[in-house]
Amino acid sequence: MADSASFIEFMMAASVLTFGDFTTKSGRKTPYFINTGNYKTGAQISTLGDFYADAIVKSGVTFDALYGPAYKGIPLVAAAASSLHRNYGMDVPYCFNRKEAKDHGEGGLIVGYQPKDGDTLVIVEDVVTAGTAVRETIALLGHVAQVTISALFVSVDRMERGTGARSALEELRREYGIDVYPIVTVRDIIAALPAGDERIEKMERYLAEYGATAT
């Protein structure tokens, strides 16, 4: 798969990476936003799956299944699993959750592969800011089976602190033993903008306020 600049161009062309005034799930006011809900064509989701599959293969992590948190993680995990099969010959199980457990038919909370005790899962997610959504995912999966979550794959590492001075991704690694693999970082995005672009100053100010300050 191509370099980080190609992925940034891909996100911008799809209006997934946008600039302006936004509020993240954690309540932070941010000058840029990653919305994977804006992918809307077959070509886009196929290409996105290729980027994720490439990151998964390059990481070298081993796992029993891929997991995508509802809702945005659902097309991401399906696209990644499809690309792994199409491009790498890897037929890997995948699953995702319902927002509410189904109480009729087959019932249950998980769709697709049913995790079992002892499984190792990796999460396929869009972006992590403060780590709130990932913690919710870990709690949810703990009610399904005794699984290990070994890795998290995201489109962008925003390089922001979580609940303390460390980055949200570093906190997840320390608290849960999860290795995090972003396709690109916010620093890659800043580097891809033209010199002197006013968006750079806004993003630098944001990182000065919310960026991680400890390792």
Q: In order of start, what are the domains of the chain with their CATH numbers?
A: 4-210 (3.40.50.2020)
Across the chain, mean pLDDT equals: 89
Between 91-105, 135-149, 191-205, the lowest mean confidence (pLDDT) is in 91-105
Which is nearest to 66 in space by CA: 118, 119, 109, 117? Answer: 119
User: Which active-site residues does the annotation give?
Assistant: 102, 104
Task: Report the alpha-carbon distance of residue 83 to residue 119 in Å, rounded.
Answer: 22
CB distance 153 to 121 below 8 Å: no
CB distance 161 to 206 below 8 Å: no
Of all residues in the chain, the percent with pLDDT exceeding 90 is 63
Alpha-carbon distance values, 28 to 15, 61, 91, 153, 209 (Å): 21, 32, 39, 22, 10
Residue 68 in this model has a pLDDT that exceeds 60: yes
pTM across the whole model: 0.89
Q: Using pLDDT thresholds of 50, 70 and 90, give the confidence band for residue 59.
A: very high
Q: Using pLDDT thresholds of 50, 70 and 90, give the confidence band for residue 168.
A: confident
Paired residues of 177 in beta bridges: none
> Phi and psi for 179 in degrees, rounded to 5?
-85, 135
- 175 versus 92: which is more confidently predicted? 92
